């Protein structure tokens, strides 16, 4: 296993050594501020700018992060890729390149509520791949075949978690279809009530099928629908089949040059069932269960920097509301609503949200929003109605000159929760480190 991993890494380094351009970047996924879309758009612009300016055949992109809540959840998208770009004289319209996804993560939750306890996540991930790409003559259609190996190390645990990964991808303009290893985790852009950072750190890889519609140029819409097969059952097995499926949709309506309205619709399923499995040792056959979470919301964003001045003190403000629901559990139905507002400035980004829940639960969301105990010391504890206010402060700080490193940022954050049901108000903190390098390699 280790030898195979080293071999993939070695091939990646060899391809990097023969390359022309080096691009190092990180994509920030912030569900509250909407920063994900802006960083993703900038990353794509940098990629195509480097592609058009190169005379040789290699572009390399590297991402390395330590993530936090909101931004932390993007750790699965950290990538280092060496991309072979055919020149105009090359009539093969194909490419072979290596890609390395790497992340180093730290997240500390100091929770003191009756239904959830504190926990610390500290470790690193490595996912090297080799990808073969075939493109149509007009460049509008593309097929990618990839094979790699995923490794996660949790500090303090000598056992590595690892598995091989394979995928086939077809893309045409704003449409993408994937079978095999999916663009999972934070790529789905699910609200934290539906998909938590903790889930991303334990649900390591997603395998199944995925269909994506994404307006990459104007960022007007995003639609991601997928099925993740988690457990296969066979005749005579006592285990149930288990899969998750979801659909995440976002549509933006420009109101004027400074304001835009963002509409969000999300649904996430968790299914345990099957027909070929048999009763367990106690003579009982587990019941079929399908859990459902959904979110419907709207965000109004306003650009406070009219002239896009880099020295402007205020940059962006937004306010929004999201309705959440839960069903399928023996505990019955539940719901919740969150109202949030935020402002981004030159020195600090502040976000304030108010949550009210009634019998709400989530199979993969942030556990603090649940009415039902996740605390092993009080497993039967239930708080029918949850009500708390969350304040988050964060900022990305440029560390190095843009001439040497296009982007080097340190992003500390602190999140504090005002909860009358908790003996002590909970808090969580973390650190984000991001950097990007572009080197044309021209002599």
Read off the pLDDT of residues 247-268 as tens digits, 9 standing for 90 and up. 999 999 988 888 999 999 999 9
Longest dimension (CA), the chain: 74
Backbone angles phi, psi at 379, to 5 degrees: -65, -20
Q: What is the distance between the alpha carbons of residues 60 and 51, in angstroms, rounded to a whole number?
A: 10
Are 322 and 264 contacting, i.e. CB atoms less than 8 angstroms apart? yes
Distance CA 32, CA 340 (A): 8
Q: What CA–CA distance (Å, rounded) separates 75 from 152?
A: 12
Residue 183 CA neighbour count, 13 Å, CB half: 20
Contact 270, 230 (CB under 8 A): no
Instruction: Give the Å distances, CA to CA, from 205 to 87, 162, 390, 411.
Output: 34, 10, 30, 26
Query: Considering only CA atoms, which of 170, 200, 201 is closest in space to residue 187?
Result: 200
Region 210-215: mean pLDDT is: 95
pLDDT 10s digits, 89-136: 344 588 888 877 777 888 899 998 778 888 998 888 888 889 899 988
Alpha carbon 258 to its chain's center: 27
Higher pLDDT, 408 or 315: 315
Q: Which DSSP state fits 369? A: G
Structural tokens at position 266 = 């999300």
| C-beta neighbour count of 413 within 10 angstroms | 22
What proportion of the chain, given as a percentage, has pLDDT over 90? Answer: 39
pTM of the model: 0.76
* Domains of the chain, start order: 2-439 (2.40.160)
Quick one: average pLDDT of 2-28?
39
Q: How does residue 404 score in pLDDT terms, banded at 50, 70 and 90?
A: very low
The confidence band for 412, taking pLDDT boundaries of 50, 70 and 90, is confident
The C-alpha atoms of residue 303 and residue 318 are separated, in whole angstroms, by 9
Q: Does the structure show a pLDDT above 50 at 58?
A: no
């Amino acid at each position: 296993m280790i030898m195979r991993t080293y071999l993939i890494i070695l091939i990646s380094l060899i391809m990097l050594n023969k390359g022309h351009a080096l691009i190092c970047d990180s994509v920030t996924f912030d569900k509250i501020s909407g920063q994900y879309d802006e960083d993703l758009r900038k990353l794509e612009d940098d990629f195509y700018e480097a592609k058009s300016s190169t005379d040789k055949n290699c572009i390399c992109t590297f991402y390395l992060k330590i993530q936090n809540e909101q931004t932390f959840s993007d750790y699965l998208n950290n990538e280092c890729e060496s991309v072979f770009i055919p020149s105009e004289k090359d009539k093969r319209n194909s490419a072979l390149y290596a890609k390395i996804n790497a992340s180093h993560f730290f997240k500390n939750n100091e929770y003191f509520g009756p239904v959830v306890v504190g926990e610390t996540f500290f470790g690193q991930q490595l996912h090297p791949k080799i990808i073969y790409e075939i493109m149509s003559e007009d460049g509008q259609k593309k097929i990618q075949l990839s094979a790699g190996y995923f490794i996660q190390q949790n500090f303090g645990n000598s056992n590595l978690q690892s598995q091989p990964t394979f995928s086939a991808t077809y893309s045409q303009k704003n449409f993408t279809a994937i079978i095999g290893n999916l663009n999972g985790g934070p790529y789905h852009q699910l609200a934290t009530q539906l998909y938590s950072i903790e889930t991303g750190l334990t649900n390591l890889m997603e395998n199944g099928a995925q269909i994506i519609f994404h307006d990459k140029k104007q960022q007007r819409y995003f639609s991601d629908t997928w099925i993740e097969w988690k457990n296969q059952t066979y005749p005579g097995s006592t285990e149930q089949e288990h899969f998750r499926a979801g659909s995440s949709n976002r549509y933006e309506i420009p109101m004027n040059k400074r304001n835009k309205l963002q509409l969000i619709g999300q649904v996430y399923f968790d299914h345990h069932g099957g027909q070929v499995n048999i009763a367990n040792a106690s003579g009982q056959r587990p019941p079929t269960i399908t859990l459902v979470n959904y979110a419907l919301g709207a965000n109004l964003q306003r650009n406070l920097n009219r002239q896009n001045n880099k020295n402007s003190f205020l940059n962006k403000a937004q306010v929004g509301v999201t309705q959440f629901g839960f069903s399928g559990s023996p505990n019955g139905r539940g719901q919740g609503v969150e109202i949030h507002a935020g402002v981004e400035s030159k020195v600090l980004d502040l976000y304030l949200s108010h949550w009210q829940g009634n019998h709400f639960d989530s199979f993969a969301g942030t556990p603090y929003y649940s009415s039902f105990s996740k605390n092993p010391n009080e497993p039967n504890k239930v708080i029918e109605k949850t009500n708390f206010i969350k304040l988050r402060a964060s900022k990305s700080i440029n560390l190095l000159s843009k001439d040497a490193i296009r982007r080097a940022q340190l992003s500390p954050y602190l999140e504090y929760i005002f909860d009358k049901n908790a003996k002590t108000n909970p808090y969580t903190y973390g650190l984000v480190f991001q950097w990007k390098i572009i080197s044309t390699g021209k002599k």
